[in-house]
Structure 1
Amino acid sequence: MSSLSLPVFSCSLDPASVSRRLADQTADAITRRGHRATVIDLAALSLSPFDNDRVFDSDAFGEVHRIIDEADGVVLAFPIYNWSPSSTVKSLIESTGATGAGRRAAWFDKVVTFVCAAGLPHSTMATGPLAQSLMLDFKCIVNPYTAYFSERDWEGDQLRPDRADRLDKTMSVHVELAQLLQGRTYSSDWEV
């Protein structure tokens, strides 16, 4: 079985980001399974906010678009703010999913998994609209195992053992879905 490309995007601009720590742990869980999982830290790339104009001229845009387009699956690690995924993750999807002027969205047919950091355990459904958009717009396969962690799930810098097991299972499902869909016979584009 060949090694898959399964990048992990850290979608927080917070210098002390918990979701960045989760992104690192996620990449470790994927590489332990024999696959490539580079963490792409959006705070370090300085990807411009989506404006449907100048963002496409940036080096950061070209890099993240290529990484997503060439990936077998993508993990999005992001904070939950105000009962919703952070604006940074939405901006990433908007820019790399935009079409027109000869551009093609990078997201078509990707396996996507969410890894979320939140203050409280009450926002577990916050990823629903984002998942629906990825599925309907880009025909993504969204992993039904979302790894959602609140402040209560940590012991110091480590996830509690039961919560670490959830992250591990979520990555097992992510890898398995990507492997199963490698041989798909279809290719999607904008269609209704």
Structure 2
Amino acid sequence: MVTTHVTIVATSLDASSKSQLLARHAAKVLEERGVSHTLLDLRDTPELAAPLKQATHLIFAVPVYNFDVNAAAKQVIEDHGGALEGKTVGFLCQAGGQRSYMSVLGFANSLMLDFRCWIVPRFVYATGNDFEEGEQLGETIRGRITELLDTLMQGNSPVIGG
């Protein structure tokens, strides 16, 4: 039996990142539910290989720039793609506007096709309007994060290497 472990990869390198706020809220919900998890903040996490291998489920918290995920997120799959193989993956996206909502699809396709990841089709896409007073997540976006986590955790984890 595989023990469920969710690893959240917060890829923004910005000190005032809103995608980091999304990641921390997801970690808080997992903590409240008693789900084993790790929050990897790329701003201060030197070692990624072991936590990525340990994960049964992954969540990428990504900022969206120029209609794509940030370069740091792409670097994770370039450097550690093998550790992602067969994982169930969800997304928390933070963008400047409404028009980039499909921006994560190229990244998701790479995970799905190159590394045989299971992609959760429900992802969170937040803009500045989803935050109260700039730093607090609004009720709607908190609910969307909960829906993502519920969908991510449904059923059994896929068999790694099966």
TM-score by length of 2: 0.92
CA distance in 1 between counterparts of 2:54 and 2:2 reads 15
State the structure with more CA Rg: 1
Residue of structure 1 equivalent to 2:39: 39
Please state if 1:121 is matched with 2:98: yes
Q: Give the paired residue count.
A: 161
Residue among 124, 138, 142 paired with 1:147: 124
2:74 to 73, 90, 98: 90
SS in 2 for 1:163: helix
* Equivalence map 1:6-17=2 (5 Å): 6-17=6-17
Moved more, 29-38 or 130-139: 29-38
* Structure 1: 5+ residue stretches without partners: 46-59, 98-104
2:88 aligned to which of 98, 111, 132: 111
Between stretches 88-97 and 159-168, larger displacement belongs to: 159-168
Alignment check: 8 A CA contact 2:89 2:152 kept: yes
**TM-score, normalised with respect to structure 1:** 0.78
Query: 1:1-192 counterparts in 2 under 5 A?
Result: 4-45=4-45, 60=46, 63-97=47-81, 105-156=82-133, 157-176=135-154, 179-181=155-157, 184=159, 187=161
Is the CA contact (8 Å cut-off) linking 1:111 and 1:174 kept in structure 2?
Answer: yes
Higher relative contact order (CA 8 A, sep 6+): 2
Q: What letter matches 1:74 in structure 2?
A: L
Supply the AA of the counterpart residue of 1:17: S
Please say if residues 135 and 142 of structure 1, whose CA atoms lie closer than 8 Å, have aligned partners that are also in contact.
Answer: yes
In 2, are the aligned partners of 1:120 and 1:152 still within 8 Å (CA)? no
Structure 1 residue 19 displacement after superposition: 0.8
CA RMSD of aligned residues (A): 1.8
* 1:147 CA displacement: 0.8
